[in-house]
Amino acid sequence: MRILAINSSFRGSKGVSAFLIDKLFIGAIEKGAECETIHLAELQINHCIDCQLCQTPKHLLKCTFDEKDNASFVFRKMREADLIIFATPVYVLGMSSLLKTLFERFYSTAKVGEFHFTKSGMFFHHGDQSLTQKPFVPLVVYDNLETEMPKNIISYFKTYSKFTDAELVGTLIRKSAGMLDVSASPTSNHTISDSIFQAYVQAGRELVTQKKISKLTEKKANQPIIRLPFFVKPMLKLGIGKEQIEKGHARMMKSVMKRDKF
Ligand SMILES: Cc1cc2nc3c(=O)[nH]c(=O)nc-3n(C[C@H](O)[C@H](O)[C@H](O)COP(=O)(O)O)c2cc1C
């Protein structure tokens, strides 16, 4: 089984996304998978400019940027993969523009004038199923502690799944990512970070053995690092303790800024 991770963090191999992909791959490799990560930040992927050349009979499904950038290289790797991890940090409430730019380049692989009815019951245009129909896992990381924060990205991938018929086989969401203790070990069980890393390794194993991540493993991988007591939000709404909480958050952010160790 070949697993391809497409990492769209601008911090490339030095970011939390890459760090978590590596944990996932420990389990997948243990179960015999071939694993590879592509860091989009290291490649050149031009924006689709809607020139429509790819939709003309003479130039059908050829992009004006073929051989001029790395999109076709990534598409080749996607076609060769059995499963894809789409890793993205939350950037201003949405996915990384690096990933969205790559997705927009799918346009040149689809006959957009040809109508198609998906298994999920959606009207859509023709698409290159060898590219877009791979089972996939979104891996979303962000620093905020609100569950609302990655909502747009998760919703995007659910819709992506419906229109492409690609099976969503797990969803990994790492909130408060800057608070992960990167020195934690997936082999011990002392901290929340240990337990999260163990869950990532287990998720990697399950992707190979069960072709999906179990709900239990997903829950462990997605567990919060900080659990706010239930009364904090009502207090804040009443204006009680606001200043202390904000100061505490500023202290926390200072430690987050030391993340260069990734
Ligand atoms: C331009 C930019 C925008 C960001 N926007 C958000 C945001 O809206 N919400 C959030 O929680 N974190 C936001 N972050 C923080 C990143 O999501 C967070 O640091 C993440 O862990 C980075 O992943 P990486 O280390 O793999 O690059 C933003 C970071 C950058 C650089």
Q: Specify the ligand 1 atom closest to the Cα of 146.
A: 11
Do 175 and 164 share a domain, yes or no? yes
Same domain, yes or no, for 204 and 234? no
Q: Is 11 in the pocket of ligand 1 (CB under 6 A)?
A: yes
The CB of 19 under 6 Å from ligand 1? The reply is: no
Any atom of ligand 1 within 6 Å of the Cβ of 141: yes
CB of 17 closer than 6 A to ligand 1? Answer: yes
Q: Do residues 9 and 88 lie in contact, with contact meaning Cβ atoms separated by under 8 Å? A: yes
| Burial of 195 from C-beta contacts in 10 A (0-12 / 13-18 / 19+) | middle
Element (H, E) at 174: strand 172-174
Q: Which residue has the higher pLDDT, 232 or 89?
A: 89
Same domain for 208 and 244: no
User: How confident is residue 259, by pLDDT bands cut at 50, 70 and 90?
Assistant: low
First to last CA, the chain: 28
In terms of domains, do 144 and 106 share one?
A: yes
Q: How far is the CA of 104 from the centre of ligand 1 (A)?
A: 22
Closest ligand 1 atom, residue 262 Cα: 25
Quote the ligand 1 centre to 134 CA distance (angstroms). Answer: 27
Query: What pLDDT does 258 receive?
Result: 60
Residue (of 9, 18, 21) closest to 207 by Cα position: 21
Q: What is the pLDDT of residues 171-225, one digit of tens each?
A: 999 999 988 987 776 666 678 999 999 999 999 999 999 999 999 999 999 999 9
Provide the pLDDT confidence category of residue 257 given band limits of 50, 70 and 90.
low
pLDDT for res 188:
67
**Which domain covers residue 202, as residue numbers?**
2-227
Atom of ligand 1 nearest to the CA of 94: 8
| Any ligand 1 atom below 6 A from CB of 218 | no
One-letter identity of residue 74: V
- Closest to 96 measured CA to CA, from 171, 197, 7: 7
CATH of the domain at 9: 3.40.50.360
**Do 19 and 54 belong together in one domain?**
yes
> How many structural domains compose the chain?
2
Residue 261 has pLDDT above 70, yes or no: no
Ligand 1 site, residue 143, Cβ cutoff 6 A = yes
Amino acid at the residue 113: G
The position carrying tokens 């929340």 is 192
Does residue 151 have its Cβ closer than 6 Å to ligand 1?
A: no
Distance CA 115, CA 105 (A): 19
Which of 115-119, 160-164, 248-252 has the weakest average pLDDT? 248-252
172 and 260 inside one domain: no
Residues 191 and 235 in one domain: no
Task: For residues 209 and 237, state if they share a domain.
Answer: no
Query: Which atom of ligand 1 is the closest one to the Cα of 256?
Result: 19
User: What does the alpha-carbon distance between residue 262 and residue 250 come to, in Å, rounded to a whole number?
Assistant: 21
Is residue 148 located within the same domain as residue 243?
A: no
Residue at token pair 């963090």: 9
| Nearest ligand 1 atom, CA 19 | 26
